[in-house]
Each structure stands twice: as structure tokens, then as C-alpha cells.
Structure 1
């Protein structure tokens, strides 16, 4: 990436910071000139600076007296590289600086400040400050609701009551930990006829009109693209789009898009979408300015990479001056409202369950004072503190005992900390279950046996709507480069295993030859990345050979099975089964990253269920081989996980048979879903 940027003489935002720091560090004369030019340096929200920004301040203001304002209790941008330790580092860099503590809150009421202080006092190593407020106000409300529907309905009813008592719509906010939490609450507000706007719930490319445009262009590129045709706007224009498919090979994509809008009249039918359609056209123009290839195919390849990256731009701003604001807590930073609702205060949502970061930072870059799990919880606590202190007069902390999945959710550990403010500050209320909405209509339910595989069960667990698209509607999808690479590795392993069954050994040259043959026979979907995949795959296979992976002689390879299980049928293909001294070992190869333990155990347990039913072999050992990392995992407790897998399969079969195919949108999952374009609920 950096090499390509240098080649095109481009700088990104991080380069502007990093190169400025390097310039000052290597050229003292340049640094002195800028330092003398800016004798007074003022910085607000200092706790949100990352290390590069901090270093820039240290250099420019090194010989002066910088003035910075910050609050370590509001450091919530760790994912951007910010750190609550930034203020402590500032004191270390400027030891003569004088610290003035501002503890008076001029926004929130005394009770809100007391509740927030009781919470944030549980964070270790924070800078000491006495939080107080002169304004009076009603007690903080803490609601326990029976289920998610009751929680959303209660928030909507209370918001309606506030509006009728004179609170402006725009002075009411619902602050959520994630965008997915906002969906049912936005639906409840709509059901009560309350004007509202969900801020940042969808990026630019997730706007309905942009998904329509992408679907149209996909059909022009490939008239047989069934996923794109699942969008009604594209299906309605199918004859026109098919005519454009011929011209698309000769037209500049800018002209193609202009003609498409002219002949379809799409933009004129959706006046509220004009701004985003215009921006999409501008983006096409910008693409053509930086690319020598102005074809539709080149644009779509670029667009696919943008969508896969997960980095999206904001849509055109929505005019919503008089509407309830629904947003994430991060988006609320710096804002204030008369009334604030903070929903879903349960373990796993706030605080969120710990999850691996997208990128692992080296220890030297991480803040020195707080590393590990406690820091994650401390940041989640700061996040709730920020949400609570957005409220001027009324604050509602809500939770439900049951969300999706049927299990009982434990309340957030933070609520007990808030309760320490006392009963005069916090008032608790039990909210009864709301009337259950009508069950969703069955869609293509099965009246007979249901046939499931691991991938089908996994898809249903993640999102029943995705299962419906794939296994009921049977919408075909193009395999990703990662998936095809996995197919290649599995085929190499199968061929090598067949040679071992014939008594032949697998040498490094022989394995390399097999790998070359399979690549030659396979059509790879991404020629640009093919060399990297091929190189990595060869290295992974050779490492597996060196570890002795081909020493045992397999008994079964790519073994299919199809067995009846309690009213449903389980089918699948087992990568490899070896004979052991005491029984049998099922081996499953993984070409990608390690999966969660629950998902790993489910897959190999289903294979065990299939093997015992179809091949009548036991006892069984289960092993998962991660080719990329070189790790092999032996799965313990086979009998127990097989029983759990059978129960889970039966639960999925019941849902499929009943036609329950509701969506379960979650941003990361939706981002990678091949049916995202067709799904109206995708985040």
C-alpha cells in the first residue's frame, strides 16, 4: 500500500501526521521555524489524540507552554489509537505544566452527575476530580424489561409522553452501544408515529438507493446475477439493463451511468435520494480521474474492494431538525439532550463481550499503564459514563432479561456501580412484558424432512434470512478468493492422501507438483491476488508435510455421509479419517483463521454424528488442523459436544420447517454476507 502511494505521489491522513513528525525530528531548523511561528498551542479533547498527534504537539510546543484540555474519563477512542494515558504522558513531557481540575458539570443535573460519578469511580488510575453539579432534576430511571419488544415499546411510550409534556423531539436521544441495538427501538418509535432519525446506522453504500444503483450496474455487467435481481428496482428494469449490457463494453462508465439515469428515470422517482445518487455519480467521476481503465468492469472491481474493506463514507446529511435522535454512544460525544435513553445494558452488549481486534498492535505502542482485559472493561465503563453525561435532566438506563436466542441475559455489571449513588438518585422499575406481536408469517417452510449440513446450520444460526437466500431461494453467489483458495488446498490434501493410500511417500517436490497441477486446473476469481495466495498456500502445505501431516495413511478421504437424525437429515463431507490404535480420528482442515470454539466444536461434532451413523465407526477422536497457523487442536468431550450438536441441529430444523427466516443484522456479519445487496435489513 505504501509503495503504491509513493508511486502515485499520494499521502493519506496518517501520512500527513507521521511525515510531519519525521520532518521535525530530522530537520531541527524547520522545527524551530514552525515553533517560533506558533508560540501558543491550544489543544481540546486531548484524550482523543493518538501517539503521533501527541508527538507532534510535543515537538511544536516543546519550548513553549501549551494549553490543553482533556478528560481521561471520556477517552473512548482506543480503536483509533487514542489512550486515556495521554494526559499522564503530557505531564511527563511538560513537567512544569500546571493542572487545573474542573469538576463542576454545567450540563447535567446533580442526580445524573452523582450516578455517573458512582460509575466512573470504579475505574482505576483515573485522574482525581470531584464531580458536582448545581442543577436539580428528577431521579435517574433504571428499567428492567421482560424482553426486547417491551424495552423498545417502553422507550417509545416514554418518549411520546415527554413530547406531549413539551420536550422538543430533537432534545430526546437514544444512545446505543452498536447500530444493531438501535433497529428495534427505531421500529418502535415509528410504530408510535414519532419522527426520528437513525444517525450513522448505515453508511453511504448501504443506503437503499445506492444498493439499487449497485444492483443495476451488477446486472448490466452480468445479466444472470440473481442476487442483484433480487432487488425490486433492478428486477423492474431488467429488460433495460440487459440492453445496456451490450453497450457497456464500449461506453465510458461515466456515460453509461448518465444514460442509465436518463432512460430509467430512477433518480426522478426518488426525490429524497437525489443527493446520494449525485454523490454516487461524483464517485464514478473521481474513479475515472485516477484510473486509466474507465470500464464498468473496472469500476465494479474497485467497488467490490471498497465494500469488502468495511470502510464506508457517510451518506448525504439528513435534514432532521425536529426528530428524536437515535445514534451510537461514540457518535453522541460532544452533544447534549434534555432526555437520554441508554438501552441494552446487559453483559455482552455494554460491556461488550471481549473480541479480538481487527489488527494486533505491538506492546510497545499500547499504553503502558493499562493493558489487557481490565482496560477493555474500563473503556466500556467510560463509554457508559459518556452516554449518561449527555443528559441534561432525564436519564433512562434500560435493559431486558431476554433478547434473541431465548436465554436469560445478565444485567450489566455497571448497573450495580450506578446503584451505589443511592435510592434517592436512582429509581428502579420493573416493566411487564408487552403484548407479543404476531408471529412472522411462515415463508417456504418445509412440510417433510429437512436436509441440513454444517454450513446450513451455521448460516441459520448466524442469520435465518441468509439461510433462506442460500438454501430456499437458492440464490447463487460467486465464490470469494479465500473460498477458492480453500478448495485448492483441500484438493491438494486429498490427492496427497490418495497417494499415501497407494503406499507412496509425499516429498517436497511431489507436494509442490500436486499444488501446481491443482492451480493450473482451477479458475481463480482474483488474478491480482493469485500469486500471494499461491505462495502462501505452498508454504502452508510444506509446513504441514514437515510436521508429519502425511505420515499416517488415511482410511477415508473426502468421505460423504447422509444420515437421518431425529426427523431431519444430516449430510456433509469429512476431509479425512485415520485409523488409530484405539479407534478412529476425524481430521478437519481449515484454510482460514481459527474459528470460535463453539463453531469449531459444532462442525466436528456433526462430522462425528455423520461418521458414526453412516460408517458405523467408533470410538472417535476429533482433530482440527489450521493450515495457516500450523496449529492442530484435539477436541475433548466428544460425546457431550455430539449431543449438543444434535440438539442444535434439531432446533434449526424446527425453525426451517416452520418457515422462520427472520433477519439478524450485525454489522461485521452483514459486511461479509453475499446477500447483503438483496437484504433490506443489512447493516
Structure 2
């Protein structure tokens, strides 16, 4: 009925079709998208005009029109500029993007107070840092919409009496090397690789681990230095306090003093007061778990003999050096060496398949030749020790070699999977 009225009974389309200006073309696209919504509604069995109009209202009211903002194949050659908000651009990509208004108070925008704050939930209110992190994420969403060209600008004045100053986010782009942004495997292959880089003096194991999981994430985080969000979550602070106390225990032992449980808890408490998530709603839970863990570590250290040799290793791997610092290195009085990877989480079936154990075994053989070596995981939560069974270390180490080769060749294509929505660069990456 709608198409009959548009194409047969009315002259609504005639003046639009006679015009050739961008405004007329834009109207035709809007009509096309409207008809597309109608066809989809009819395909679901919808026949009620009232329900159809309610559907249109909901799309507009709830901003559910992202799927309809994509330019149809019939309109890709239209000579026009699309104007939209950054939120409205999510999920889209354009050959060229112009991002104006990069001035203080505009990007990031001034934080707006909550009009109706929830009762008794003051801790859930957005802080200034939270607002800036959200605005920074939005800024990188805007940058990543550009495929070939990106123009950033600001006006010298936005009011007659006040000059504007550059957005602080522009400083995040200073010194960044140019790199083709990956937009899925096909687009990445089409555009080619980024410029190859010279071999580094050494590669950090943690950075290589990021690349192994996703080359694109390595590109954003390590190569480009883009922050993916706050690094001071309650979970991170909790672990930092635990690992700091573990290191303190070994330092005390190396200085000739074996700290008891009471001294260990006192150190942990002082460290927690300064660095722990004391304002977090679950800080009591985190603190109790942390105290249990450091108590178990203190008891383990008291029962150990020999000395510690924890330091950074430079492991030779296929002509390159990989830097890794074991959590603990215990050299017993008989010369046997135990390398521990301290774990604060639960034991998993996949733990023994991680390539870091092969790297630790290789590094231990290079640093302590001829000695009996044990590489194990030590779980602070349960006190359990797990010695990963010897597997094909060659294949595990090959992951590091392939990562180094990919970094040096400039290959930073995304590795898509179910974990992508949890990545801090999810809205920036085109994967």
C-alpha cells in the first residue's frame, strides 16, 4: 500500500526525481531506508500500520538506526558530506573523516552532573577521571572511522571574547608513526602491511604475549602507545599489593632476615593503605583474600632453604633476545633451581599449554647449565604447586618467533574472536 501510494497515486517523488542536487539525493536515500524498514517489518508477519509506525518511532527514540545509516550500494557515488555525531558513527567507516571542535571544553566535553543521582549510591557517580576516560574512548572511535584520510581541526575562537586552546587528546597523537589501521582480514590484506621496523635489542615477553593473542591489540597498545583505559582497577591494585609483598619477603630473606607471618601482614597492610583499592565496595573481600595469600607465601618462604636469584633474563631465541623476569627463582643448597610462576587465580586446564613455561625452561638452561631445573606454577590461593608436563617446547617457542617476525614486518592485523568485545580497543579496531 505504501509503495502504491508513492509510485502510482501521488506526485510526491516527481519533484524530488527532477532535482539533481545533494539534498534531493539525500531525500531519496531516506525514502529508500524507510521502505527497507517497511519490508523488514512485513517479512516478520507484521500487517498493522499502527505497529509499523510504533516501530519507526522506537527506532528514532532509542537511536536504533545504526544499521540504516550505512550507505546503500546505490548511493555510494553520491557527491555529498555526511554529518553525524561520534556516537552515530560507531560501526561505520568512510574514505575521509573531518573531526572539528578539537578544543578544550569541546573534546573532552565538560562533565555534566547527574540530574537525578541514585539514592545512597554515591560511589557509582561518574568521577572526573571516569568522564575523561569515556571521552578519550569516544575520541579514538572518531579517529578510527577514517579509512584513507583524517582531518583534525579547531577554531581559533568559539566566542568573540575567548580564544580556544587545543584539546589535551591531541597530545596523545604526538610522535605516533603512521600505520594502516586494520579493518578486518580482507581489508588488511588489501592495504598491505605497515612499514617494517628494525629488530629491537630485546622484546618483552609480556608484549609478545599481547601480540600472540592479537597483533592489532599489540599495535594499538605497545607500538602506538594508546591507553586502553584505566590501569588502576581494584583487581589490578589487589594483585600489585600481593606481588609487592611477595618481593618484599624475598628481599628480607636476602638481607639475612626471615620475616614471620605477623611482619608480612604488617607490610601488606601498610602497602594496602597506600596502594590498595580502599574505596572500592569490595575492598574488604579483596583485602581478606590478599592477606590469606601473603600468609601462605610467608609460610612457604620460612620453610625454604638456599637463596633467591630473581632478575631479568635475556633469553636467546632464534637470533633475538626475549626479556622475561620470573616471579621467583629459588636455588637450593644442593644447586637445584626452581623457577616459579606465582598465580593468584584458580588452576586451569590450559595453564600448562602456555608458551611462557617453554621460555622459562629455555632461559633456565641458558643461565644455569648442567643443573637440575624445575619450572612450576605456584597458586597462592590454595598453596598448590603444578609442574607443567614437558611438551613440544619447539612449537611453543615458535609462537614467540612468529610474533617477533610479525612485529618486524609490520603485520598488525586483528585476530577476531569471542573475546573481542572485552578488548579496550574494540570500538577503535575494525576487526
The 5 A counterparts of 1:145-544 are 209=87, 236-241=100-105, 247-248=110-111, 251-253=112-114, 296-297=126-127, 300=130, 438=189, 440-449=191-200, 451-476=202-227, 477-479=229-231, 480-522=233-275, 524=277, 527-544=280-297
2-structure distance, mates of 1:236, 1:629: 55
1-structure distance, mates of 2:370, 2:325: 15
Report SS of the residue matched to 2:288.
helix
Partner of residue 576, structure 1? 328
Q: What CA deviation, in whole Å up to 9, does each residue of 1:466-512 have, x standing for no partner? A: 11111100123422322222221111111111222344333221221
Residues 345, 381 of structure 2: 8 Å contact kept:
yes
Partner of residue 90, structure 1? none
2-structure distance, mates of 1:624, 1:445: 37
Q: How many residues in Structure 1 have an aligned counterpart in Structure 2?
A: 301
Is 2:383 the partner of 1:630?
A: yes
Compute the displacement of 1:194 (Å).
Answer: 11
Compute the displacement of 1:628 (Å).
Answer: 2.2
Aligned partner of 2:420 among 667, 670, 678: 670
Compute the displacement of 1:602 (Å).
Answer: 1.5
Length-normalised TM-score, structure 2: 0.57
Residues 254, 308 of structure 2: 8 Å contact kept:
no
Residues 449, 567 of structure 1: 8 Å contact kept:
no
Compute the displacement of 1:627 (Å).
Answer: 1.3
Residues 500, 554 of structure 1: 8 Å contact kept:
no
1-structure distance, mates of 2:219, 2:188: 22
Cα distance change of structure 1 residues 208 and 518 upon mapping to structure 2, 3 Å threshold: same
Partner of residue 342, structure 1? none
Partner of residue 555, structure 1? 307
Compute the displacement of 1:243 (Å).
Answer: 7.2
Residues 670, 676 of structure 1: 8 Å contact kept:
yes
Q: What CA deviation, in whole Å up to 9, does each residue of 1:285-321 have, x standing for no partner? A: 6x658856896428948x99xxxxxxxxxxxxxxxxx
Length-normalised TM-score, structure 1: 0.38
Compute the displacement of 1:169 (Å).
Answer: 12
2-structure distance, mates of 1:549, 1:600: 28
Structure 2: gaps spanning 5 or more residues: 1-39, 45-69, 76-84, 91-96, 135-183
1-structure distance, mates of 2:308, 2:340: 10
Aligned partner of 1:658 among 389, 409, 415: 409
Report SS of the residue matched to 1:447.
coil
Report SS of the residue matched to 1:239.
coil
2-structure distance, mates of 1:293, 1:597: 37
1-structure distance, mates of 2:417, 2:324: 28
Q: What CA deviation, in whole Å up to 9, does each residue of 1:61-92 have, x standing for no partner? A: xxxxxxxxxxxxxxxxxxxxxxxxxxxxxxxx
2-structure distance, mates of 1:242, 1:550: 58
RMSD: 4.4
2-structure distance, mates of 1:574, 1:543: 19
Report SS of the residue matched to 1:635.
coil
Residues 589, 624 of structure 1: 8 Å contact kept:
yes
Residues 308, 331 of structure 2: 8 Å contact kept:
no
Structure 1: gaps spanning 5 or more residues: 1-167, 173-189, 196-206, 213-231, 255-284, 305-403, 406-434
Residues 249, 301 of structure 2: 8 Å contact kept:
no
Report SS of the residue matched to 1:533.
helix
